[in-house]
Structures are given as structure tokens and as C-alpha cells.
């Protein structure tokens, strides 16, 4: 039997982690969500091995309460922590403006606010989450901490694909990759495995895209295909999580600190 705590579990990739892991009744799955009242999909699973816990990764008080609740169920241990919750900033793409002659004064405040919020959620909050759950993980068997990252945090990929419209998100995810590396260096001798894992390009949209979004996405795909000519487009959460779990199950302490894709390599798409 293995235990898993998954942040950002109400929808998308987080929900699919809960769905696939809890399909094995031997697993105990803790789904951390910001609002239990709206986490209806998790309730609809109707599985007794799923515990839905309200916790916001930017609120240490709720994280500590969640850790205490998990401890009561498991007897003070946790095998896997999956840091999935994140701020993608879809409404704030390309806050960095590269033509200074067209840089409105208000954009300076927007950029600072966006970078700060992205960094707070995607990097600082992950540090707090790991620290709060470390005592439980020490008592676990797997001692695996998986942090969902992105290929858009790979500098080589950004330069070669000429992708620059995800600035705040990419910068904050590059920062969390370094967080993973530091924890790996610190805790390798204790048998911990820390991994930054990209899920690939996943379709998690909750509503049909606008014409503007379709145009932007088409341009992005064109750039991606300069590096991956056979790339067919986004994969489903089901496919992504299945592939991610294959990577997670294979990694050992020898791999700690790695930054890998859902394919277990540096192939991001």
C-alpha cells in the first residue's frame, strides 16, 4: 500500500492523479483542494480511499492542518507528495514587453505583480509545502517528492523554439526546478527522491478557446514543430498522468534532483 498527497487536485492533472492512483484500492490518496465545496468531481468518484482536504498552498496554516489530518489516517507517514498546484497566469501572458518604446507606465506595476504572484505560488509555496510534509515523508517508504514543472522552464527549449509568451510562468518554474535541486542535494543521503517533472503539453481547458486563443496556440504549435516536426498537439490529462506515473515509479534515489519530461527524458513534447 502507498499513500499520496496531491495539491491542486480538484481538476485537470491533479484530479487525474487522484483518479488513477485511487483506482488501486490499496492506495490511500489525499486530494488537497482550495475549496471542498466546489471539488464535486472528486466526490463523484465515490472512493473510500480518497480523502478530500481543503488546503491552499499559499496558506501555511491550512497546509499544517492538512498534514495533521493525513497523519491521523496514516499513523504519521506519507510515501509521496505531488506538488501539482500552480499559477499558470493565462490572463497575463507576455507581461515582459520587449519594445521599450511601447512600454506603458502601468505595465511596470503589472509585470512586478505578475512575477511576484507567480514566484510566490510556483516556488515559495512549494518550499513551504515540502517543509510542512517532510516529517511525514521521513516516516514513509517511498520518500518521493514530485514537483510538476514544465518544458517551458528549459532555457535551451525556449531559445531554440523562440517561445517568449509565457514569461512569468516560465521564470517561476525555472526557480522551482532549482528548489528541487537544492532539496535533492540536502536529502539524498536520507533516501529521499526529489523530481521536477514536466507533464508535456496537456489539454486541461474547461471551456472552448476564443478565436484569439486559437490564433496564439497555432503560432505556438508552429514554433514547437520546428523542434518536434512530428508533434501532433496536446495530450489528454489521462495520457499525461499515466506516462508521469511510469516515470515516478521507476525513479530511484540515484535520479534525485532530475528535471524530466513525462517521457522520462528531456523530450518535452
Task: Give CA separation, 66 vs 53, 94, 263, in Å.
Answer: 6, 35, 31
Point out the catalytic residue in the list 4, 169, 207, 223. Answer: 169
Q: What is the mean pLDDT of residues 1-22?
A: 97
Q: What is the mean pLDDT of residues 87-111?
A: 60
Lowest average pLDDT, out of 132-136, 139-143, 214-218, goes to 214-218
Burial status of residue 208 (CB atoms within 10 A of its CB: 0-12, 13-18, 19 or more): exposed
Whether the per-residue pLDDT at 96 is higher than 70: the answer is no
Point out the catalytic residue in the list 173, 183, 263, 266. Answer: 173
Q: Mean pLDDT over all residues of the chain?
A: 91
CATH superfamily of 2-208+236-261: NAD(P)-binding Rossmann-like Domain (3.40.50.720)
d(CA 218, CA 208): 15
Q: Could you read off the pLDDT of 158-194 as tens digits, one per residue?
A: 999 888 777 889 999 999 999 999 999 999 999 999 9
Q: What is the mean pLDDT of residues 82-87?
A: 97
Whether the per-residue pLDDT at 92 is higher than 50: the answer is no
Q: Look at residue 186 in the predicted model and tell me its pLDDT.
A: 98
Burial status of residue 80 (CB atoms within 10 A of its CB: 0-12, 13-18, 19 or more): buried
**Active site annotation includes 51:** no
In which band, very low, low, confident or very high, does the pLDDT at 219 lie, cut at 50, 70 and 90?
Answer: confident
Lowest average pLDDT, out of 13-22, 62-71, 85-94, 247-256, goes to 85-94
d(CA 237, CA 235): 7
Q: Look at residue 207 in the predicted model and tell me its pLDDT.
A: 66
Q: In what order do the strands lie in the sheet with 80-83?
A: 50-54, 28-33, 3-7, 80-83, 144-148, 193-198, 258-261
Q: DSSP letter at 90?
A: G
Cβ distance 197 to 246 under 8 Å? no
Q: Look at residue 101 in the predicted model and tell me its pLDDT.
A: 53
Domain boundaries, the chain: 2-208+236-261
d(CA 6, CA 69): 14
The share of the chain scoring above pLDDT 70, in percent, equals 88
Q: Look at residue 214 in the predicted model and tell me its pLDDT.
A: 63
Q: Look at residue 110 in the predicted model and tell me its pLDDT.
A: 73
4: its cell numbers: 499520496
Q: Look at residue 206 in the predicted model and tell me its pLDDT.
A: 67
In which band, very low, low, confident or very high, does the pLDDT at 91 lie, cut at 50, 70 and 90?
Answer: very low
Cβ distance 267 to 235 under 8 Å? no
In which band, very low, low, confident or very high, does the pLDDT at 227 lie, cut at 50, 70 and 90?
Answer: confident
Lowest average pLDDT, out of 57-66, 163-172, 213-222, 226-235, goes to 213-222
Three-state SS sequence of 225-265: HHHCCCCCCCECHHHHHHHHHHHHHHCCHHHCCEEEECCCC
In which band, very low, low, confident or very high, does the pLDDT at 14 lie, cut at 50, 70 and 90?
Answer: very high
d(CA 175, CA 121): 11
Distance between first and last Cα of the chain: 32
**Active site annotation includes 17:** no
Q: Look at residue 102 in the predicted model and tell me its pLDDT.
A: 57
pTM of the model: 0.92
Amino acid at each position: 500500500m502507498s499513500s499520496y498527497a496531491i495539491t491542486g487536485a480538484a481538476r485537470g492533472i491533479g484530479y487525474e492523479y487522484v483518479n488513477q492512483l485511487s483506482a488501486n484500492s490499496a492506495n490511500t490518496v489525499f486530494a488537497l483542494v482550495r475549496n471542498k465545496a466546489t471539488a464535486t468531481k472528486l466526490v463523484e468518484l465515490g472512493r473510500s480511499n480518497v480523502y478530500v482536504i481543503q488546503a491552499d498552498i499559499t496558506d501555511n496554516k491550512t497546509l499544517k492542518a492538512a498534514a495533521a489530518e493525513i497523519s491521523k489516517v496514516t499513523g504519521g507517514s506519507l510515501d509521496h507528495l505531488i506538488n501539482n498546484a500552480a499559477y499558470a497566469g493565462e490572463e497575463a501572458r507576455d507581461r515582459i514587453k520587449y519594445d521599450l518604446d511601447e512600454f506603458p507606465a502601468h505595465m511596470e506595476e503589472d509585470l512586478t505583480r505578475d512575477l511576484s504572484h507567480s514566484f510566490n505560488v510556483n516556488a515559495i509555496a512549494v518550499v513551504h509545502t515540502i517543509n510542512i510534509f517532510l516529517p511525514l515523508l521521513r516516516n514513509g517508504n517511498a520518500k518521493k517528492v514530485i514537483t510538476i514543472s514544465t518544458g517551458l522552464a528549459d532555457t535551451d527549449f525556449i531559445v531554440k523554439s523562440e517561445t517568449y509568451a509565457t514569461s512569468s510562468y516560465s521564470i517561476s518554474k525555472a526557480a522551482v526546478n532549482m528548489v528541487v535541486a537544492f532539496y535533492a542535494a540536502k536529502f539524498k543521503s536520507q533516501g529521499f527522491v526529489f523530481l521536477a517533472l514536466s507533464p508535456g503539453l496537456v489539454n486541461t481547458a474547461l471551456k472552448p478557446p476564443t478565436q484569439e486563443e486559437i490564433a496564439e496556440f497555432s503560432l505556438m504549435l508552429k514554433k514547437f514543430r520546428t523542434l518536434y516536426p512530428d508533434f501532433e498537439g496536446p495530450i489528454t490529462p489521462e495520457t499525461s498522468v499515466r506516462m508521469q506515473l511510469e516515470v515516478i515509479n521507476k525513479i530511484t534515489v540515484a535520479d534525485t534532483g532530475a528535471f524530466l519530461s513525462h517521457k522520462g527524458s528531456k523530450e518535452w513534447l
